[in-house]
Amino acid sequence: MQARNRTLQLKAGAVALSILGSALCAAAMIRGALPPETAIPVRFVHTVDVYKAKPGDLIRAKTLQVITLPDGMELPKGTVVTGHVVEAQPLRLGPAGAEPQASRLSIHFDQIVHGDATLPVNLSVRALANTLDSDDAENLHYIDESFVDPSVILIGGDEFSPLDKTIKGEDGQVIGYHRRQGVFAPLLDSYDDAPGSNLTCHATRTEQSVSIFSPRACGLYGFVDESLPHTGRRGSGTFTLESRDHSVTLYAGATALLQETAH
């Protein structure tokens, strides 16, 4: 009996060491660098109002689905991405006849937090959607009154079919699909067609986590009088939402398709 108990204790110890080793390995991996091009769909947790925000204020967002990394590691849905306010400038009126000074909100994301581990990031914004457009991208739409073959209109315009679990482009070709962890697709070459915007988005060599975003999502969605003069590319990691019509507010529930940029 003593020998059997000793064997069970040794086996339990081996399992515990294995679990501890896996946790330490995961912690070590998450402290490394996020691979370039990695897409991270997130939802903003709190409203950011330029009248109340100040540089240094904490920004929190949560991942909309599992993020699968090339080394096989996964970041679960709800993983926290933190950052800070870089600039918060309300709209300022100038002298009579002069254009107002634009309102700007600049944000820089710093790290991903997973348990006790952190992963430094330098993220740009590929697409940004307001709260209403973000909510709508999670609702079913019916093409006609037959109420068959419903679809979800993703941010960026492509349709996701819950029945066959695929994303289809305008030509009907499958450009993404759903599996257990979420919706995945290689990101596609695209551009922001908003007036005055010159933003272009490039294709990725590997499939990415897209959640409620189309693989071709690029630029602003649902923001009528705002522009995105800076996306955080070229290593800056700071994006700017700007308006010459009103003071900028980024409401809780807004979503973004973030993408790791070069450090």
Return the SS3 of 149: coil
Pairwise pLDDT comparison (79 vs 16), residue with the higher score: 79
Structure tokens at 36: 């370039």
CA atoms within 13 A on the CB side of 237: 19
Distance of CA 75 to the CA centre of its chain: 13
Angle at 60 between CA 59 and CA 64, to 5 degrees: 140
Q: What per-residue confidence (pLDDT) applies to 23?
A: 39
pLDDT at 20 exceeding the cut of 90: no
248 within 8 A of 105, measured Cβ to Cβ: yes
pLDDT at 51 exceeding the cut of 80: yes
For residue 28, what pLDDT band results from cuts at 50, 70 and 90? very low
Q: 220, 240, 239, 232: which is closest to 260 by C-alpha?
A: 232
Q: Cα(125)–Cα(159) distance, rounded to whole angstroms?
A: 22
- Which residue is listed with tokens 């599996």? 179
Q: Give per-residue pLDDT as tens, 212-250.
A: 999 999 999 999 899 999 999 877 899 999 999 999 999
226 within 8 A of 242, measured Cβ to Cβ: yes
pLDDT at 15 exceeding the cut of 50: no
Minimum mean pLDDT among 34-43, 69-78, 128-137, 151-160: which range? 69-78
Mean pLDDT within 2-6 = 50
Mean pLDDT within 53-78 = 91
Element at 8 (helix H, strand E) = helix 2-30
Q: Cα(219)–Cα(237) distance, rounded to whole angstroms?
A: 16
Q: Give per-residue pLDDT as tens, 101-154.
A: 899 999 999 999 988 888 899 999 999 999 999 999 987 655 544 445 678 889
Minimum mean pLDDT among 163-172, 206-215, 249-258: which range? 163-172
Q: What per-residue confidence (pLDDT) applies to 263?
A: 53
